[in-house]
Amino acid sequence: MNKKRRKSLSIRERKFIKALVAGKTPTQAMRDAGYAESTALSKQSEKVGKLAVPIQGLMERMGITDELLLQVLAEGLQATKRIYLRNWRRRKEEVSTLKNELCNAVTRTKKG
């Protein structure tokens, strides 16, 4: 039985994902990851497409499924109540924690 080994993420790809998770645009994320300016300007969509599967795998391991994302999106679209500042800060901390966990998961991804 031949098992195909999944190609591991390069250091630049990991940095790119971390920058995306931090909220940067794909072009800026590529710059921050150390790609050449010409590459950052012309290849960002290819890079996002290439990394979609590894990112999806990380999200699934963290319990972030398509269903959960759709549910949160639907809730946001149907929202009718105001969230006061103290609630917003707590929610912002939760989102920040989730971003940090995703960044750490990317960093821990081992070669092989």
For position 1, what pLDDT does the model report?
44
Give the three-state DSSP class for 83.
Answer: coil
Assign 32 a pLDDT band (cuts: 50, 70, 90). very high
CA-based R_g, the chain, Å: 17
For position 65, what pLDDT does the model report?
82
Q: pTM for the complete prediction?
A: 0.51
For residues 46 and 89, the model is more confident at 46
What pLDDT digit, counting tens, does each position of 47-87 carry? 888 888 777 777 788 888 888 888 888 888 887 776 665 65
Distances (CA, A) of 8 to 4, 5, 14, 29: 12, 9, 10, 19
